[in-house]
Structure 1
Amino acid sequence: MLRAERRYDIDWLRVITIGLLLIYHIAIVFQPWGVLIQFIQSNQSLESLWIPMSALNIWRIPLLFFVSGMGVCFAIRKRDWKSLMTERSKRILLPFLFGVFFIVPLHVFIWQNYYQQDLNYAINPSHLWFLANIFLYVFILSPVFFYLKKNENGRIVQAFKKLMKYPLGLLAVILPFVLEAIIVNPDPFEMYAMTWHGFFLGLLAFFFGFLFVLSGSNFWQTILKWRWLFLGIALTMYLIRLIAFELKTPNFLMAIESNIWIFAVFGFAYKYLNRPSKALSYLSQGAYPIYILHMVFMFWGSVLILPLALPIFAKFLLVIAFTSIGCFAVYELLIKRIAILRPLFGLKSKNKKEQILKVSLP
């Protein structure tokens, strides 16, 4: 049976992954091709940023899907199919639709105005595309998930548990990702947003994230024991990709490197982050609405900061600061406190007992 334990490392990884996505998006502002994907682009480039960003690029989004699949495995401990879909509709589908119709058009307006385009109301998933994917994954895979949960002692789950006892058993996880990379043949590999590559890779990651939690301690003990090996292999593959291939290794090698990075991240997170903290309690609530908002403040900050006569790296740091402060301020002062806004940004509504308690406190 799934144990009712709180996995703080998984909560931390969700927060960290979203934080990395924000920094990654801000780094695009300072690349010479940012405007091609409708980002506001600096006239000065900071292409050296792309060296660390290219290390993140092939595992940041897959990691988010792995973590989301893990979350579903914990969620179905006390839910049936109907309650799971109801809860995911409220927490994922509603914020996605609200963001597409009301948040994304704001940063599109800023972009259109900056580049002197005609102002048009644009309905576009933009950076929220992965929310639609996650909701579809829950809908598509939940019959499989509930079957596996019901048959935890069956041959399928028991075979996977045995496989996860050994580091070479993780090859069985990597193989489907390699096949996806070969069959779909994405160009580039890192283009996940609104592509078939992003959809199928995310589906695989979501499915295996669920299985990792369902398999119990075997997976976690394996990645804990071999985390340094995974990190060494991932770093080696990245350096080969950077130096020998100028970041353009074949897609099947990208798929292998991506998964090994993720195994290393899971191992170190399990070792060092599986503990509660006040920071985690706050950030785990705020990460989702902050991500929904961040493109608006990133574009607004770019418009204000890029024209300033400052060193380029100082501009990069200022855009990060402006985006972070703006998002946290709106979250803390508005979204968190106004009942009607909470569900629109993926937060649970406060129950009456909490509201009464808050009012009664001085």
Structure 2
Amino acid sequence: MSKPEIFPTPERRIDLDWVRIGAFGLLIFYHVGMLYVSWGFHIKSEHRLTWLEPLMLVLNPWRLSLLFLVSGVATRFMLDKFTLPAFAGARTARLLVPLIFGMLVIVPPQSYDQIRESLGYPAGFLDFYVRHYLAFGSEFCPQPCIVLPTWNHLWFVVYLWVYTMALAVVLWLWPAAADRLGSKLATALAGPGILVLPCVLFVSWRVFLFPAFPSTHALFGDWYNHADYATAFLIGFLLAKQPRVWSELERQRWLAFAAAIGLFATFMLFRGGFGVASWLPPRWCVSAAYGCYQWLAMAAVLGHARRWLTADGPLRRYLTEAIFPYYIVHQTAIIMIAHALRDRGLPAGVEAAIVIGGTVLTCAATYEIVRRINLLRPLFGLRMAGGGTARAARQQPA
């Protein structure tokens, strides 16, 4: 088989590497927080820390959309490296191999611990895995009624692959789409438009789609999330090579930050039933504040990152490769450690510190082992060591 044609590597966006590292890193703390808040999660701690919820709501509207936006930028630059067929093949291998491996090996302990805590499942893991996890259908209904096998937190990989393949089809039919639409979008977003126009989209999805299609991460029927995440992905993809837009984001970073603070405060007031306009449905007020805050927070992060996060070095290079294996492993580590600590009578702070520390150590140890064993690397989203293709593209984000 001939090697895919490779083109010269474009200059890296170091700032966006740091944004991606930070956004994925926040997942560990966010998912640990899910053990303690009132919202649903696979397992729960005995402790409830309601003061965490406002802090988590600061992140909740934009953290995942930001990851899709950065992935869109990375996708645009990757297209300069590969031919379109080679690009589609590389993305499929990079995303679907870890997904399948994760669903069969990494995720099952999460479901096992969930069933043990919710239903007191008496048998061992192997019995659960053979009899239930590989059932390919709904199990333990009506409560909690899990469709097994499941991808749990790996839904992000599924959605990213779907958007990438859909984009590849569009570019196959219309090769000039990226440059033409990117230029038009950059013109539309000139000046104040960079802060205003994307808000309109995110508000619209929240107002009109979210009530009918609440978040499921089940791929099919998850139309609000698709509108939200695909919009962010396309914004990143189309604007990746529009330097005037990134300069404008940097220039307006403090305005975006101040506006985001104001919108978040407004969202929290509306969410609590205060200050809702009498001539609008309360849900519309909450959704409008949420959607606008979502974009302004992303704009503030991107603008400040472009201004300040430009330093390169060994740490950035190490984390750029490490963060995807960390992502694959982190939630299983959190759930298994938290389950092992349940009923130990530990204070909430001690318990959370052990979960966070144990998760980071598990992720780090997994990565250090995997990156040294060539056959394991593709299972965790890493390219095989050695070879021109791997060396040329080794540091491309997932």
Range of TM-score over shorter length: 0.7 to 0.9
Normalised by the length of structure 1, the TM-score is: 0.88
Q: Which runs of 4+ in 1 moved over 4 A?
A: 145-149, 151-154, 352-355
User: Matched residues in 1 for 2:55 and 2:37: separation?
Assistant: 13
Q: Deviation per CA, 1:203-260, whole angstroms, max 9, x where unpaired?
A: 111111101213x211111110110110111111111222342397532331111011
* Structure 1 residue 99 corresponds to structure 2 residue 135: no
Q: Calculate the aligned-residue CA RMSD, in Å.
A: 2.6
Note closer, same or farther for the CA distance 1:211–1:145 as it changes in structure 2 (3 Å cut): farther
Decide whether the 8 Å contact of 2:189 with 2:197 is kept in 1.
no
Decide whether the 8 Å contact of 2:195 with 2:256 is kept in 1.
no
Q: How does 1:157-306 map to 2 (within 5 A)?
A: 157-186=182-211, 191=215, 193-194=217-218, 195-214=222-241, 216-246=242-272, 249-306=285-342
Normalised by the length of structure 2, the TM-score is: 0.80
Q: Deviation per CA, 1:107-132, whole angstroms, max 9, x where unpaired?
A: 21222234412633231011011111
Q: Which has the higher helix share?
A: 1
What is the aligned length? 347
User: Matched residues in 1 for 2:179 and 2:345: separation?
Assistant: 65
Shift, 1:170, TM fit: 4.1
Decide whether the 8 Å contact of 1:227 with 1:267 is kept in 2.
yes
* Structure 1 residue 25 corresponds to structure 2 residue 31: yes
User: Matched residues in 2 for 1:171 and 1:237: separation?
Assistant: 13
Q: Deviation per CA, 1:59-115, whole angstroms, max 9, x where unpaired?
A: 011111111111101100122220111110111111112111221112212222344
- Where do 5+ consecutive residues of structure 2 fail to align? 1-7, 123-127, 134-147, 274-282, 391-398
Note closer, same or farther for the CA distance 1:137–1:267 as it changes in structure 2 (3 Å cut): same
Shift, 1:179, TM fit: 2.4
Note closer, same or farther for the CA distance 1:201–1:92 as it changes in structure 2 (3 Å cut): same
Decide whether the 8 Å contact of 1:293 with 1:327 is kept in 2.
yes
Q: Deviation per CA, 1:157-208, whole angstroms, max 9, x where unpaired?
A: 433232333132443333232222233134797x362322112211111111
Decide whether the 8 Å contact of 1:162 with 1:218 is kept in 2.
no
- Counterpart for residue 86 of structure 2: 83
Note closer, same or farther for the CA distance 1:169–1:223 as it changes in structure 2 (3 Å cut): closer
* Structure 1 residue 310 corresponds to structure 2 residue 346: yes
User: Matched residues in 2 for 1:160 and 1:271: separation?
Assistant: 22
- % identity of equivalent residues: 27
2:47 counterpart SS class: coil
Decide whether the 8 Å contact of 2:194 with 2:245 is kept in 1.
no
- Counterpart for residue 360 of structure 1: none
Tell me which amino acid in the other structure corresponds to 1:23. F
Q: How does 1:27-106 map to 2 (within 5 A)?
A: 27-34=33-40, 37=41, 39-106=42-109
Decide whether the 8 Å contact of 2:186 with 2:245 is kept in 1.
yes
User: Matched residues in 2 for 1:273 and 1:192: separation?
Assistant: 34
Note closer, same or farther for the CA distance 1:153–1:336 as it changes in structure 2 (3 Å cut): closer
- Counterpart for residue 279 of structure 2: none
Shift, 1:8, TM fit: 0.9
Note closer, same or farther for the CA distance 1:148–1:166 as it changes in structure 2 (3 Å cut): farther
Decide whether the 8 Å contact of 2:15 with 2:305 is kept in 1.
yes
Shift, 1:351, TM fit: 0.9
- Counterpart for residue 359 of structure 1: none
Note closer, same or farther for the CA distance 1:264–1:177 as it changes in structure 2 (3 Å cut): same
- Where do 5+ consecutive residues of structure 1 fail to align? 356-362
Decide whether the 8 Å contact of 1:164 with 1:218 is kept in 2.
no
Q: Deviation per CA, 1:272-331, whole angstroms, max 9, x where unpaired?
A: 112212211111111111111112211121023343333212221221111111111121
